[in-house]
Structure 1
Amino acid sequence: MTFVVLPASIPEIREVYDAYFAAFEGELVTEVLFPWDVNNNEFREGHTNHTLGYWHKDNVQYTFKCIDTESGEIVGMSLWDVYWRERSEDERRLPAVDWLQGQQKERAQKFIQAFWEKKEALVGGKKHVYCHVVAVHPKYQRRGVGSMLTKPGIDIAEQLRVPVYLEATDKAIKMYSDLGFEKLRGGVHLGPEIVGGQDHLEAPIMVRMPASLDLANFSQWARRSSV
């Protein structure tokens, strides 16, 4: 079985997100951001159209796919923001949750805001590469696909000589560590109003510095004045 990672194309949007929704079925992120039956055809058509509209207007985000070359199936995807220049405050506003309403919208907005505030405090408008997600279909996990999907972002960051920043899950920490990422102290705190019930979670934050630097330089890098 051979895998290859390539840029995703418009006709493949639905297949790319088939892998995403399969990978995160039952997870908090899909429960909060997509509180519907994600396998419902009407929802998926709307999601595909929304994604297509975003692809047409966004100029920093890049999506990669991993293909099983024997079956032709898309088995995973990764999503990256490449900030090759510094950004103003207007350019990094808190994203709006415009696909939900009422309490669902309020919960999703708090979820996104928690991640946004932490990243804003650490990175601000400085140049960096941000990994939104690495998703591998459950049938293809533990075969190196996740590492393959992470390497395009690492390669871009090395060319730019900037850090890669991401929020991990506990089960993905080892994979990222093997790729040169290190876990920062203090993750993203998600309170019970987001998690539900009396529970709370802390999402780990990981950073990979370019080869010319090391993590000891991250604090110094993060303290530098930004736009």
Structure 2
Amino acid sequence: MAPLTLKPVTVDDIPSIAELWYTAFSIPVNLHMFPNTPGVREWWDNANRHDLLHNPHRKYLKIIDPSACDFLVGYAKWDLDPLESGERFPAWHKESDVELCDLVFTGCGEKREEFMNGRKHYYLDMLVVHPHYRRQGAASQLVKWGCDLADQNGLPVYLDAHIDASPLYRNFGFKDQEEATPEGAVSMIREPQT
């Protein structure tokens, strides 16, 4: 069996990214914010396509399984300059729960601003791995890519993790910044390492 392989995301991958997001994250709160409808999927596709083509700070990487016809196993969205790259998402789709999206994502943004306090940093915005490929190294490859780059440039990395995923990030040197929220989110920072 060929090893899982890290590659840049291409425009042709955009629909597969949305499909993977729904496969991995179809829990009630996520589906309330982002219902699995054609309109919301189109919103995801447009948002990701815009970032990929027009935002030089945002880097999309994928993990594929060469032994399964290059099946998309996982992807990550790294923001290499969140202080300059603009809004994280476009205006919410009309089928989304706008109030809940604002509450969750505004809260995440405010936490990041509070903890980073204007420091230049990298932001692991999104990390998604197909449930059948978890614990096979895909997430580690995606995290390592950004951590290595951050270390080369002497920068910290910030992310918002679900408490269940936090052990993975701790293995890379991330530290919890506070107790997890009632929804299970925890803010984590990794200082540059030599």
- Corresponding residue for residue 170 of structure 1: 163
Partner deviation per Cα, 1:150-195 (whole Å, 9 max, x = no partner): 11110110111011111111111111111222222345x4xxxxxx
> What is the CA-CA distance between 1:210 and the residue it aligns to?
1.2
Q: Which moved more, 1:47-56 or 1:160-169?
A: 47-56
Residues 4 and 140 (structure 1 numbering): CA distance in 2 closer, same or farther, change over 3 Å?
Answer: same
Q: Does the 8 Å CA contact 1:32/1:108 hold for their aligned counterparts?
A: no
Q: How high is the sequence identity, in percent, across the aligned residues?
A: 27
Q: Does the 8 Å CA contact 2:111/2:187 hold for their aligned counterparts?
A: no
Q: Does the 8 Å CA contact 2:121/2:156 hold for their aligned counterparts?
A: yes
Partner deviation per Cα, 1:96-126 (whole Å, 9 max, x = no partner): 6612349821221111111111111111432
Q: Which moved more, 1:49-58 or 1:112-121?
A: 49-58
> What is the CA-CA distance between 1:18 and the residue it aligns to?
2.2
Partners of 2:140 and 2:87 lie apart in 1 by 29
- Corresponding residue for residue 24 of structure 2: 23
| 1:8-47 matches, cutoff 5 A | 8-26=9-27, 28=29, 30-34=30-34, 36-37=35-36, 40-41=37-38, 43-47=40-44
Residues 97 and 57 (structure 1 numbering): CA distance in 2 closer, same or farther, change over 3 Å?
Answer: closer
- Corresponding residue for residue 144 of structure 1: 137
- Corresponding residue for residue 5 of structure 1: 6
- Corresponding residue for residue 181 of structure 1: 174
How many aligned positions are there?
Answer: 192
Residue 81 of structure 1: which of 79, 100, 110 is its match?
Answer: 79
TM-score w.r.t. the length of structure 2 is 0.86
- Corresponding residue for residue 49 of structure 1: 46
Q: Which runs of 4+ in 1 moved over 3 A?
A: 40-43, 91-97, 100-103
- Corresponding residue for residue 192 of structure 2: 210
TM-score w.r.t. the length of structure 1 is 0.75
Residues 202 and 92 (structure 1 numbering): CA distance in 2 closer, same or farther, change over 3 Å?
Answer: farther
The two structures, once aligned, show a CA RMSD in angstroms of 2.5
Partner deviation per Cα, 1:63-102 (whole Å, 9 max, x = no partner): 1100001111010011111029xx4xxx577656612349
